[in-house]
Amino acid sequence: MELHFEELLEKITDFIKSEAKTETVVGEKFLLGEFECVPVIKVGMGFGSGGGEGADVKRPARKGQGMGAGAGIGIEPIGFLVTKEDNISFLEAGKTHGLAAAFEKVPDLIEKIIDKRNREEVTA
């Protein structure tokens, strides 16, 4: 049995690359009124591997090989980049002043958008 350690690590790395994406965890960017919101994630990874070969001390004709590898990944949404025209802000997720605060402002934002549209219709 041949040990193909590099091939195994490449497969693990490719899997992590395909899964550790904002789109996979949180979703695509979206519009909230006049604001464009881009999700941001934090990714942590760990790798472990080992391999060896040997022979039976009492029966040298008996030889063996073995290997193992593993990887772990942690992905956490941490917030949103929010843009409006030239202004960029970062809203943290899970904080009362972050994402929760943004969603608390949604009714006010919707009201302002409706008011602005109504004013534009009146002046038009």
The total of structural domains in the chain comes to: 1
Cβ atoms of residues 85 and 72 within 8 Å? no
Q: Tell me the pTM.
A: 0.47
Q: How many whole angstroms from its chain centre is CA 124? A: 45
pLDDT at 86: 86
Give the range of the structural domain holding residue 14, as residue numbers without chain letter. 5-91
Cβ atoms of residues 81 and 35 within 8 Å? no
Task: List strand residue ranges (DSSP E) for 7-110, in order.
Answer: 30-32, 35-55, 63-84, 87-92
In-domain check, residue 65: yes
Q: Share the mean pLDDT of the chain.
A: 78
In-domain check, residue 42: yes
In-domain check, residue 120: no
Residues 6+ positions from 26 with CB-CB distance below 8 Å? 39, 41, 77
In-domain check, residue 15: yes
In-domain check, residue 11: yes
In-domain check, residue 109: no
In-domain check, residue 63: yes
Give the tens place of pLDDT for each residue, 17-41: 777 776 766 678 888 888 888 888 8
Give the tens place of pLDDT for each residue, 87-122: 888 888 765 555 556 666 667 777 777 788 788 877
